Amino acid sequence: MASPIPVEINHRKEKGVVRVTWEDGHVGEYGCGYLRGYCPCALCQGHGAKIKFIEVPDAKLAEISAVGNYAIQFTWQDGHNTGIYTFDYLKSLCPCPECNRSKDR
Cβ proximity to Zn ion: between 28 and 33 the closer is 28
Q: Least distance to Zn ion from the beta carbon of 20, Å?
A: 9
Residue with smaller CB distance to Zn ion, 41 or 64: 41
- For residues 23 and 6, the answer to whether their CB atoms sit within 8 Å is yes
The rounded distance, in Å, linking the Cα atoms of 53 and 64 is 20
> Which of 17, 28, 38, 93 touches Zn ion (CB under 5 A)?
28
Select the residue interacting with Zn ion from 9, 41, 51, 84 (CB under 5 A): 41
Q: Residue 35: how many CB atoms within 10 A of its CB?
A: 23
Q: Where do the H-state alpha helices sit in 30-86?
A: 32-37, 42-45
Question: How far is the C-alpha of 101 from the C-alpha of 37, rounded, in Å?
Answer: 21
Residues 62-81 within binding reach of Zn ion (CB under 5 A) = none
90 binds Zn ion (CB under 5 A): no
C-beta of residue 30 within 8 angstroms of C-beta of residue 93: yes
Give the residue, chosen from 20, 61, 83, 87, that forms a contact with Zn ion under the rule CB under 5 A.
83
- Binding residues for Zn ion, rule: CB under 5 A, are 28, 39, 41, 43-44, 83, 94, 96, 99
